[in-house]
Amino acid sequence: MVKKIITLNTKGGCGKSTISHFILPYYFAKGKETKDGFKIDRDQNLSIFELEATNKNRSSQYRESVVSYIYDKLENPNKTKELLEDIGFDDDSFAIFDVGGGRDAIEAVRKFSIASGGLEDYLFVLPFTLSEDSFSGALDMYDRIKKEDGDVKALFVINKMPYRYDAGEMPYKEFLDDEDISYEIEKSGLDIVKSLKERDVKFTYIPEMPESLPSGLFSREGCCIDICKEFINGKSGSEQRKELKQKIKSSNLSSKEQKEKYVAEMHKLSQNADLYRMLGYCKPFFEAISEVSGVQKNEK
């Protein structure tokens, strides 16, 4: 599969960091069957690079992570150049680059091209929301990339794609169909299809999930793999709740203590399930990555 993915947009608020830390790592996740279920391989050799001058350093959140986290505040050009050279010529590692907006994004493209001798080894994910400034930022970034290297792989992603109907008006939908997407694009007034067709690039979407994601989910430490590593073992939520109750009931705790422990563990299980469900919604996004990269990702 593609090994190096860069998320870019000169405009902020389009979901670059959410995609980089909470969605893309799952695309790269390597797992193996064990007697205890499906476990994440800690030797998967995945790194997340954060390249931006203004965002906070997340190093403390990745102390117990199964992935490596590298933060570059872009203060030392020689350090950045060496960092990009190392990963650009490493064919064995998987890497995600979360690049800041504004000048950070523009400078990063030039630095990647120089350090790696071109951009053909990278896939550029260009997220945007259904607003004029966000879409224009993604277009501007793509045009700059193409100017730097004509042989580039890029995927536009409509982030937080709304559902066509309120949840109360129709059954819940996991994936949106072409009619849903066309409806929302037309309603936005943006000339998305024509603009991307002129550039001969593909676009996909990541849906909004207002009723399924608790507000505190993204405040948890680490990336999606760290949060989900106990959940992606092939068991349904109901199976895990049943196992949890049986485990607590067989303990030496009092009835009151058992109830308190069950409530606390259920809260954690619920958050894991919400993120796992969100990653399931991103199947069209993952399939588009493989299609644009010209590779086939094995189903897990």
Q: What is the pLDDT of residues 12-33, one digit of tens each?
A: 889 898 899 888 988 887 655 4
- Of 136, 111, 164, nearest to 14 by C-alpha is 136
CB burial of 44-61 (b: ≥16 within 10 Å; e: otherwise) equals: bbbbbbbbbeebeebeeb
Q: Which residues of the chain have pLDDT under 70?
A: 1, 30-44, 55, 164-174, 209-221, 227-237, 271-278, 295-300
- Of 107, 43, 110, 115, nearest to 86 by C-alpha is 115
Measured CA to CA, the distance from residue 181 to residue 163 in angstroms comes to: 8
Measured CA to CA, the distance from residue 124 to residue 133 in angstroms comes to: 19
Per the CB < 8 A criterion, the answer to whether 34 and 234 are in contact is no
CB burial of 123-154 (b: ≥16 within 10 Å; e: otherwise) equals: bbbbbbbbeeebbbbbbbbbeebbeebeebbb
Query: What would the CATH number be for the domain defined by 4-217+280-293?
Result: 3.40.50.300
What percentage of the chain's residues is helix, strand, coil (to nearest 5)?
45, 15, 40
Please give the single-letter amino acid code of residue 153.
K
pTM: 0.81
Two tokens, residue 122: 């990278």
- pLDDT at position 18: 85
Q: Measured in Å, how far apart are the chain's first and last C-alpha atoms?
A: 14
Q: What is the pLDDT of residues 161-203, one digit of tens each?
A: 887 655 455 555 667 888 889 999 999 999 999 999 999 999 9
Measured CA to CA, the distance from residue 98 to residue 224 in angstroms comes to: 15
- pLDDT at position 264: 87
Two tokens, residue 293: 């990269």
- pLDDT at position 283: 85
Q: Domain segments of the chain: what residues?
A: 4-217+280-293
